[in-house]
């Protein structure tokens, strides 16, 4: 079966059009991936279209989409495809989102059932326009999935809920199996890379989840290649451990377009191994650090390892 390539002609980032162009660096051999061609990839894609669902796999131009969709692993992005933030690393469209779709939780749950998933990852755009930042919608999706497929474990990757009192607690009390929120980069780079976010709000979110639901697994991710230093990454790891975060992911930043932040350098596979060793030494239960690591990459297998690591730690206590 031939794979049809669709070209996205939308102006996805109007807020970035006035920026000077940053040439896109040629990727090293360890970053390159093959274009998706499998029949299962196309089946997964058609199911997303049939259920009118958005995936972060497509919207964020994830390099692992071919592998993941071939295994029927799609990360669904709820609350629309338009984000209220304009982060300089992100390929998701920026603008004013549409109203929430009350039928979306049902469609997500049905897609989870049709894909026969054991573990699902649900993420979203930032919805600063909503009073609760979309917390209630996250809860509706979690509860609807559990009602239809109670054995499926659920991982969520949420916005920071900045200036949305009570939103963190609302989602935490829905008890997702994994509560993920990515710090993305080191605090020094926030003004350039995550201008709408606040580093300590993101840390507070992760810490607050553990206060509300101490048995929840928490997870956070970093990109490298934006100009951070190894010492700064080590400090972020320490901050995450103080917040009792269980799982850290670290991957290479890839520049989506010439209007996005430039790749300062490509970290080598050997350097990723060093970062993984550093994270394990700091006490994370689970670490994934490779050039192609993304938040939801191999999430089902990682969740199984995360549970086993906790049981091993408790047994040794």
Instruction: Give pLDDT, residue 1.
Output: 38
DSSP collapsed to 3 states, 246-305: CEEEEEECCCCCCCCCCCCCCCCHHHHHHHHHHHHHCCCCEEEECCCCCCCCCHHHHHHH
Query: For residues 173 and 168, what is the distance between their CA atoms, to the nearest angstrom?
Result: 9
Query: For residues 233 and 221, what is the distance between their CA atoms, to the nearest angstrom?
Result: 11
Query: For residues 170 and 138, what is the distance between their CA atoms, to the nearest angstrom?
Result: 9
Query: For residues 57 and 66, what is the distance between their CA atoms, to the nearest angstrom?
Result: 9
Instruction: Give pLDDT, residue 4.
Output: 42
Q: Is the CA virtual torsion 60, 64, 73, 185 positive or negative? A: negative
pLDDT tens for the chain, residues 1 to 317: 343 434 344 456 676 777 788 888 889 998 876 656 667 766 776 777 777 766 656 655 566 566 666 656 667 889 998 999 989 988 888 999 999 999 999 999 999 998 888 899 999 999 999 999 999 999 999 999 999 999 999 999 999 999 999 999 999 999 999 999 999 999 999 999 999 999 999 999 999 999 999 999 999 999 999 999 999 999 999 999 999 999 999 999 999 889 899 999 999 999 999 999 999 999 999 999 999 998 877 788 888 999 999 999 999 98
Task: List all residues 6 or more positions away from 65 whose beta carbon is below 8 Å from its beta carbon.
Answer: 36, 41, 57, 58
Read off the pTM.
0.88
- Structure tokens that stand for 119 in this block: 């573990």
Instruction: Give pLDDT, residue 55.
Output: 67
Inter-residue long-range contacts of 273-281, CB under 8 Å, 24+ positions, other chains counted: 274/230, 275/224, 275/230, 275/233, 275/250, 276/250, 278/233, 278/234, 278/237, 279/237, 279/248, 279/250
Instruction: Give pLDDT, residue 32.
Output: 73
- Structure tokens that stand for 286 in this block: 């689970």
Instruction: Give pLDDT, residue 5.
Output: 37
- Structure tokens that stand for 102 in this block: 């009350």
Task: List all residues 6 or more positions away from 41 whose beta carbon is below 8 Å from its beta carbon.
Answer: 3, 65, 66, 69, 70
Tens of pLDDT, residues 266-316 = 999 999 999 999 999 999 999 999 999 988 777 888 889 999 999 999 999
Helix (H) or strand (E) holding 221: strand 217-224
Instruction: Give pLDDT, residue 271.
Output: 98
Tens of pLDDT, residues 187-215 = 999 999 999 999 999 999 999 999 999 99
Q: Considering only CA atoms, which of 258, 197, 184 is closest in space to residue 225? A: 184
Sheet holding 178-180, edge to edge: 76-78, 119-124, 153-157, 178-180, 217-224, 247-252, 286-289
Query: For residues 96 and 302, what is the distance between their CA atoms, to the nearest angstrom?
Result: 35
Residue 315 φ/ψ, nearest 5 degrees: -65, -30
Instruction: Give pLDDT, residue 298.
Output: 76
Residue 179 φ/ψ, nearest 5 degrees: -110, 110
Question: 3-state DSSP call for residue 234?
Answer: helix
Query: For residues 82 and 96, what is the distance between their CA atoms, to the nearest angstrom?
Result: 7
- Structure tokens that stand for 34 in this block: 């093959």
């Amino acid at each position: 079966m031939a794979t049809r390539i669709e070209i996205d002609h939308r102006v996805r980032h109007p807020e970035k059009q006035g920026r000077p162009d940053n040439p896109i660096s040629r990727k090293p051999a360890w970053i390159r991936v093959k274009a998706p061609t499998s029949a299962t990839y196309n089946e997964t894609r058609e199911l997303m279209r049939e259920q009118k669902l958005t995936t972060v796999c497509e919207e964020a131009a994830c390099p692992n989409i071919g592998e993941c969709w071939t295994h029927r692993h799609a990360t669904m992005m709820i609350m629309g495809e338009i984000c209220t933030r304009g982060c300089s690393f992100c390929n998701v469209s920026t603008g004013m989102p549409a109203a929430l779709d009350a039928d979306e939780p049902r469609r997500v749950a049905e897609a989870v059932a049709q894909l026969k998933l054991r573990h699902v990852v649900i993420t979203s755009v930032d919805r600063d326009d909503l009073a609760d930042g979309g917390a209630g919608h996250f809860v509706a999706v979690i509860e609807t999935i559990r009602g239809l497929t109670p054995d499926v474990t659920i991982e969520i990757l949420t916005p920071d809920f900045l200036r949305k009192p009570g939103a963190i607690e609302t989602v935490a009390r829905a008890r997702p199996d994994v509560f993920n929120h990515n710090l993305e980069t080191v605090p020094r780079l926030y003004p350039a890379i995550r201008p709408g976010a606040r580093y300590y709000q993101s840390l507070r979110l992760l810490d607050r989840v553990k206060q509300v639901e101490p048995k929840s697994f928490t997870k956070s991710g970093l990109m490298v290649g934006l100009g951070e230093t190894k010492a700064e990454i080590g400090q972020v790891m320490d901050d995450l451990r103080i917040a009792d975060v269980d799982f850290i992911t670290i991957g290479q930043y890839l520049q989506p377009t010439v209007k996005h932040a430039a790749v300062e350098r490509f970290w080598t596979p050997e350097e990723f191994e060093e970062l993984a060793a550093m994270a394990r030494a700091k006490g994370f239960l689970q670490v994934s650090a490779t050039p192609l690591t993304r938040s939801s990459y191999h999430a089902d297998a990682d969740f199984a390892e995360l549970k086993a690591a906790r049981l091993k730690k408790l047994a040794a206590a």
